[in-house]
Amino acid sequence: MAVVVYIESENGTPKKAGLEVASYGRALADAHGVSLVAVGFNLTDHERLNVFGVDKLYNIDTQGGVHFDVERYSEALAQVATKVSASLMVVSSSADGRYIGPIVAIKTDAAYMSNVVGLPSQYGPLQVKRTCFTNKAFNETQSTKERVVLSLSSNSYGLHEKPGTAEVLSGDYPVSSNSLKVESVEKATDKVSIADADIVVSGGRGLKGPENWHLIEDLADVLGAATACSKPVSDMGWRSHSEHVGQTGKPVASNLYIAIGVSGAIQHLAGINASKVKVVINSDPEAPFFKAADYGIVGDAFEVVPVLTEKLKARMQ
């Protein structure tokens, strides 16, 4: 018996989402009195996993493959899970984590539960709390299968250190059927993505036009934050739809969400509701966002935001 976690990485280094999944997996393994087995691909910097209590790491060499390959990664994960008789498997809620989770569940005859926001409320049968209705509600979901794959919501458990030493093993990299082939990947390397960000700075129609987005970008730069936007902004083409957060866009579960000139339509608020602390800056005191926010400034973004950026910059130095 074991708990198996999928460690996502970037250039050989585990990502924060991967470490959070390891932390969470450690707690599940302790509750079951079993070992924690991690699966990673091409990890060079795997000593970090020792800090989070991984007992065994299958570090799989992809033989030169540099991109996430859903077919081979999911098969490798399923093979390890079968080998170590995993009862629980955990992936993150990143784009890749949520992609691989349901596939691994079918391959291993497991139930799959996404958007999990905490440790199980019950083991045997396993029951977890998860968000639903795009963060407008939660539900308690119980598995009817012996094995379960969980997708953990970002920042919902956090990092918990439990030092140990992981035994590092190599694992087989399954063959490809070549039915799906990655041709190219476009990724901004100088920007933090919405999924990985601790802080997200978001702009709405109140910014009046795309030419004013330096206000958002400058503030995000100082905070090391990701930039996001509301639905109308992406529909008007001011910003790429990859920045659109909300019910039909991306969900946000950051520690701090700063909304500038965003009125706060119910669909937008649902999408960002999982963020821990919300700040709104808006000239309209009646904007619905003030009801959802923790901190607010009623004021002109064009005056308030540059001052905030300058003061934060001075503080960081």
Residues numbered 43-102 forming contacts with other proteins, rule: CB under 8 A: 67-68, 70-71, 94-96, 98-99, 101-102
Q: Is 188 a residue that touches other proteins (CB under 8 A)?
A: yes
- For residues 198 and 85, is the Cβ–Cβ distance under 8 A? no
Residue reference for tokens 């440790």: 119
Q: Is 175 a residue that touches other proteins (CB under 8 A)?
A: no
Q: Is 159 a residue that touches other proteins (CB under 8 A)?
A: no
Distance CA(17)–CA(5), nearest Å, equals 11
Q: Which is nearer to other proteins, 36 or 151 (CB)?
A: 151
Q: Considering CB under 8 A, how many residues would be counted as binding other proteins? A: 91
Binding mask 275-314 for other proteins (x = CB under 8 A): -xx-xx---------xxxxxxxxxxx--xx--xx--xx--
Q: Which is nearer to other proteins, 36 or 195 (CB)?
A: 195
Q: How far is CA 57 from CA 5, 13, 41, 84, 172, in A?
A: 10, 14, 10, 12, 13
Distance CA(196)–CA(189), nearest Å, equals 13
Distance CA(45)–CA(68), nearest Å, equals 18
Q: Is 4 a residue that touches other proteins (CB under 8 A)?
A: no
Minimum CB–partner distance for residue 311 and other proteins (Å): 5
Q: Which is nearer to other proteins, 36 or 207 (CB)?
A: 207
The H-or-E segment that residue 73 falls in is helix 70-83
Minimum CB–partner distance for residue 237 and other proteins (Å): 9
Q: Is 134 a residue that touches other proteins (CB under 8 A)?
A: yes
Q: Which is nearer to other proteins, 25 or 101 (CB)?
A: 101
Residue reference for tokens 């400058």: 218
Of these, 137, 163, 175, 317, which contacts other proteins (CB under 8 A)? 137
Tally the residues of the chain: 317
Q: Is 113 a residue that touches other proteins (CB under 8 A)?
A: yes
Of these, 136, 159, 210, 284, which contacts other proteins (CB under 8 A)? 136
Closest CA to 180 of 97, 83, 71: 71
Q: Is 156 a residue that touches other proteins (CB under 8 A)?
A: no
Distance CA(281)–CA(257), nearest Å, equals 11
Burial environment of residue 205 by CB neighbours within 10 A (0 to 12, 13 to 18, 19 or more): middle
How many CB atoms lie under 10 A from the CB of residue 186?
Answer: 4
Q: How far apart are the first and last CA of the chain?
A: 50
The phi and psi torsions of 113 (rounded to 5 degrees) equal -130, 125
Q: Is 185 a residue that touches other proteins (CB under 8 A)?
A: yes
Q: Rule CB under 8 A: which of 252-271 touch other proteins?
A: 255-256, 266-267, 270
Of these, 45, 161, 167, 235, which contacts other proteins (CB under 8 A)? 235
Q: Is 123 a residue that touches other proteins (CB under 8 A)?
A: no
Q: Which is nearer to other proteins, 60 or 197 (CB)?
A: 197
Q: Is 16 a residue that touches other proteins (CB under 8 A)?
A: no
Distance CA(186)–CA(201), nearest Å, equals 22
Q: Is 111 a residue that touches other proteins (CB under 8 A)?
A: yes
Minimum CB–partner distance for residue 310 and other proteins (Å): 9
Distance CA(215)–CA(69), nearest Å, equals 37
